[in-house]
Amino acid sequence: MKTQKRNSVAGALLLLPLAACLTACGEDAEYNYSVPGTICDTAIDSEALRALLSPGDTIEAAPRDTDVETCEIRIDDELEIEITGHSPYEPEDPMDYARTNEFEEPEEADLIEGGTGAVWEHGALAGWPCRADLADSYNNVLAVIHVFSDHADGDDRRDLIADFARSYMAGLSEKLECDV
């Protein structure tokens, strides 16, 4: 009986450093960067963006040189968020687009005034008509956000993604001078 008690005490003592490390390691994660209020020339809510980003030392938000408009957000050189903008000839239905591209369990979401949207566990997208002051006809906008960081789970994560998407879509619509 004494041997069993000694083994239990010894086992517990061995686990204490592990538990301390797990607790301390989570607390060491610091945000040593300031989240900007503008990314890739688009105004956003910096708190909504910060909720999706990993801790780290540096943040970079810059366009990527591709055949479509793309903005990448990196923390310590690791891709956290990628935003791609499209201008389709015909309006795109976000739910159809999400299903066609096999985004996991998309749900309809109100992300932009005058348009439609969808959110899933790893991103969001919205489509809306946009008539700039100088244009005689409507153009269509489709913005797709992919979130690679892995902070919150489930509905909390979807809510955080939707909050950022609303902020970004509003800023993009303003940047494009859309008159919906």
Task: Report which of residues 133 and 105 the model is more confident about.
Answer: 105
pLDDT classification of 28: cutoffs 50, 70, 90: low
Q: pTM value?
A: 0.80
pLDDT at 17: 40
| Res. 22: pLDDT tops 50 | no
Residue with tokens 């963006």: 49
| Res. 19: pLDDT tops 50 | no
pLDDT at 4: 52
Domain ranges, ordered by start, for the chain: 1-30, 32-175
Mean pLDDT of 156-176: 94
Mean pLDDT of all residues in the chain? 83
**Ranges of H-type helices in the chain:** 2-27, 46-50, 94-100, 154-175
pLDDT at 136: 61
Q: Evaluate the CA torsion angle 67, 49, 24, 14 in order and state its sign.
A: negative
pLDDT in tens, 47-85: 999 999 999 999 999 998 776 789 999 999 999 999 999
Distance, in Å, from the CA atom of 155 to the CA atom of 87, rounded to the nearest integer, reads: 30
Mean pLDDT of 153-176: 92
| Res. 112: pLDDT tops 60 | yes
pLDDT classification of 9: cutoffs 50, 70, 90: very low
pLDDT at 25: 44
pLDDT at 99: 93
Distance from the first to the final alpha carbon of the chain: 78
DSSP code at position 56: B
pLDDT at 180: 63
